[in-house]
Amino acid sequence: MEFLIPTRTSRPSDDPIFALNTEARARAAAGEAIINATVGALLDDEGRLSVLGSVAQTLREVPPNVGAGYAPIEGDASFLKAVVADVMGQRPEADWTVAIATPGGSGALRLAMADFLDTGQAALTTSYFWGPYRTIADELDRGLATFRMFDANGRLDGADLEHTLSAQIEAQGRALLFINSPCHNPTGYSFDADEWRQLAAIVGRAADRAPVTLLIDIAYARYGQRSLDEAVDALLGLAGRALLLFAWSASKSFTQYGLRVGALLAVHPDPEARRRIRSALSYSCRGTWSNCNAGGMAAIGRALTDPDLRARTDQERAALKSLLDRRVEAWNSLATDAGLRYPRYDGGFFTTVFCADAFAVAARLKEEGIFVVPQTGALRVALCSVAERDIPRLVQGIARHVTR
């Protein structure tokens, strides 16, 4: 007798990235010389999780009654105000912004899928994408469609985006577009100013025909070479024509992956539209996770607003970014010399090597003690977790199988 509903009977029990990480860690613990370039957590060159000391201290200083209590369903008001300021700065459009607390960036993505698409409809994203986008869609009985991410010049393929977005509007009468930049997961690609303007123009034309929601996933933005302000300034002109969302996360920017603190920001000039959006998102929170980590919001909110603490946090994060930037520089030098094909990569946790038989290559690399994440047409390489001294072996290993 089967108690699960039919659509749930064949689901995998573990995320494939976490499964690879578990295998890599077990082999390393057994004494093998393993390069584990799988999970998106920033490690130092000795393999220890990098943690911002200022944030850890702030967490310890959260009063017990605050950490133990229920947070408001929408999230702590001072935390949400701080997150809005973190993204919007002093722009007047901050007053147009609704913010709802979520368990990490994943919670923000889930809210968007649940409330801006109907059952059976599909979100749209780049052809290379973070695998859980599809998992979240599947869990909500939504779909996930893609457009070709790169054109022949290795830049945003605006023509295919516009064509695919138009087809989605024709098919379902609305669209939800996920864009992850700066520091795209999995490719490491960051849009430049021209690409942000191109995106805004495409979405604006589509929004003249039907409701279009554009979500910018900014989980890795703090580690990019280009400022998030470049994206915000280019996209704010869409507010009122399209709905502009930002999926914000403390996981990477504050090195608190397990704290599960995030937020979804929605920008719209009409107060009545904002009221409806806030109500719908709050209702979804109550029906899914109820409320978020009160102690985590208190600590992150303080890290964002206390001037001395914010200065310390920014300084510590800059040191971690420098660590990562050295790895990026080493990778770019060695991978280019080795003839590897990969997108423009100037910062962030990941890069992606184009590879026709990625799953077979990843299996062979695993036999050699090199763990990467295969996907259709590419290998994701998490440089965030690879010591700088191991990058030559990593590049050489990949090159042996990809360029031969």
373 close to 17: Cβ distance less than 8 angstroms: yes
Which pTM value belongs to this model?
0.95
* Domain end among 287, 307, 327: 307
51 close to 255: Cβ distance less than 8 angstroms: yes
144 close to 125: Cβ distance less than 8 angstroms: yes
Shared domain check, 104 and 222:
yes
* Domain end among 307, 333, 348: 307
d(CA 276, CA 257): 31
CATH number, residue 352 = 3.90.1150.10
Shared domain check, 227 and 189:
yes
Angle at 376 between CA 371 and CA 377, to 5 degrees: 85
Shared domain check, 379 and 296:
no
Residue 210 buriedness (CB in 10 A; 0-12 / 13-18 / 19+)? middle
Distances (CA, A) of 226 to 85, 179, 221, 322: 19, 16, 8, 14
Does 1 map to a domain?
no
Shared domain check, 222 and 350:
no
- Return per-residue pLDDT of the chain as tens, 404 residues: 899 999 899 888 777 888 899 999 999 999 999 999 998 899 999 999 999 999 999 999 999 999 999 999 999 999 999 999 999 999 999 999 999 999 999 999 999 999 999 999 999 999 999 999 999 999 999 999 999 999 999 999 999 999 999 999 999 999 999 999 999 999 999 999 999 999 999 999 999 999 999 999 999 999 999 899 999 999 999 999 999 999 999 999 999 999 999 999 999 999 999 999 999 999 999 999 999 999 999 999 999 999 999 999 999 999 999 999 999 999 999 999 999 999 999 999 999 999 989 999 999 999 999 999 999 999 999 999 999 999 999 999 999 998 65
Does 38 map to a domain?
yes
Shared domain check, 198 and 113:
yes
d(CA 35, CA 43): 12
CATH number, residue 100 = 3.40.640.10
How many Cβ atoms sit within 10 Å of the Cβ of residue 10?
7
Domain residues for 105? Answer: 56-307
Shared domain check, 184 and 146:
yes
* Domain end among 307, 329, 354: 307
d(CA 161, CA 165): 6
Shared domain check, 66 and 168:
yes
Does 78 map to a domain?
yes
Q: How many domains does the chain have?
A: 2
